[in-house]
């Protein structure tokens, strides 16, 4: 979607090592900024992912910081990490030493949607942004519970569920 909406370069961390790919794309320097828009839902592959999954299974940890770790390694010296993805519990195995040595800046927190809503609605009304591309499922209000389950478990490649009265 990022490629379609903003012509942005995208990397699927499940298919390739995102850190290495980002460094390659930037001539070995690393990107100026990295964004984690997923958070705990990102699941790593290989030994790193197995480690996170095993801890989660025995309830030693709740979150899997795969993307966060890759961002910290990949980002250039003096770069910025923006964390919009949600981490609800504890995370470990974070390379804080690497982040410190690189002088990385962390920006994170809740996004206050009401602040941006007027600007976003204006862009939608002017045809600059088409939010319909985000909605993969459309259900009636009576199907709210089913819609939440579809979204929660990412059934049928769900991105967002649109609930509409009278549908």
Alpha carbon of residue 44 to chain centroid: 13
CATH code for the domain in which residue 70 is found: 3.40.50.720
d(CA 138, CA 163): 6
Listed residue (74, 95, 76, 98) closest to 22, CA to CA: 74
Residues 103 and 59 in one domain: yes
DSSP character at residue 94 = -
Q: What average pLDDT is seen over the chain?
A: 82
Sign of the alpha-carbon dihedral angle for 72, 73, 75, 77: positive
Residues 61 and 98 in one domain: yes
Phi-psi region of 15 (alpha: psi -120 to 50; beta: other; left: phi over 0): alpha
Please write the tens of the pLDDT for every residue from 17-76: 888 888 899 999 999 998 887 766 544 445 455 555 665 565 555 567 777 888 888 899
Least confident piece of the model among 48-52, 149-153, 162-166? 48-52
Taking each helix axis from N to C terminus, what angle separates 66-74 and 46-57, rounded to the nearest 10 degrees?
A: 140
Query: How many domains does one find in the chain?
Result: 2
Residues 99 and 60 in one domain: yes
List the beta bridge partners of residue 135: 160
**Residue whose tokens read 């790593």:** 44
pTM above 0.75, yes or no: no
Stronger pLDDT, 113 or 121, i.e. the higher one: 121
Stronger pLDDT, 61 or 81, i.e. the higher one: 81
Residues 23 and 95 in one domain: yes
Range of the domain at 118: 113-164
d(CA 39, CA 34): 13
Q: Give Cβ neighbours of residue 83 (< 8 Å, ≥ 6 apart).
A: 35, 36, 39, 68, 106, 107, 108
Residue 110 pLDDT level (bands cut at 50, 70, 90): confident
Please provide the distance, in angstroms rounded to a whole number, between the alpha carbons at the two ends of the chain: 26
Residues 58 and 135 in one domain: no
Task: Pick the last residue of a domain from 86, 108, 130.
Answer: 108
Residues 124 and 61 in one domain: no
Which H or E run includes 108? strand 105-108
Residues 99 and 130 in one domain: no
Q: What is the pLDDT of residue 47?
A: 46
**Residue whose tokens read 């009636």:** 140
Residues 128 and 100 in one domain: no
Task: Pick the last residue of a domain from 108, 131, 146.
Answer: 108
Residues 93 and 118 in one domain: no
């Amino acid at each position: 979607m990022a490629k379609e909406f903003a012509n942005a370069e995208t990397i699927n961390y499940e298919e390739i090592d995102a850190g290495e790919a980002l460094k390659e794309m930037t001539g070995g320097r690393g990107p100026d900024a990295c964004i984690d828009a997923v958070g705990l839902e990102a699941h790593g592959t290989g030994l790193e992912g197995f480690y996170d999954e095993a801890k989660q299974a025995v309830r030693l940890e709740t979150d899997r910081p795969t993307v966060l770790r890759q961002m910290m390694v990949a980002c250039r010296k003096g770069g910025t990490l923006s964390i919009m993805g949600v981490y609800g519990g504890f995370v470990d195995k974070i390379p804080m030493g690497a982040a410190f040595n690189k002088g990385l800046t962390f920006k994170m927190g809740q996004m206050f949607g009401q602040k941006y809503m007027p600007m976003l609605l204006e862009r939608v009304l002017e045809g600059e942004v088409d939010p319909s591309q985000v909605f993969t499922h459309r259900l009636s209000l009576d199907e709210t519970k089913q819609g939440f389950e579809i979204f929660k478990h990412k059934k049928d490649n769900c991105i967002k569920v649109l609930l509409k009265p009278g549908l």
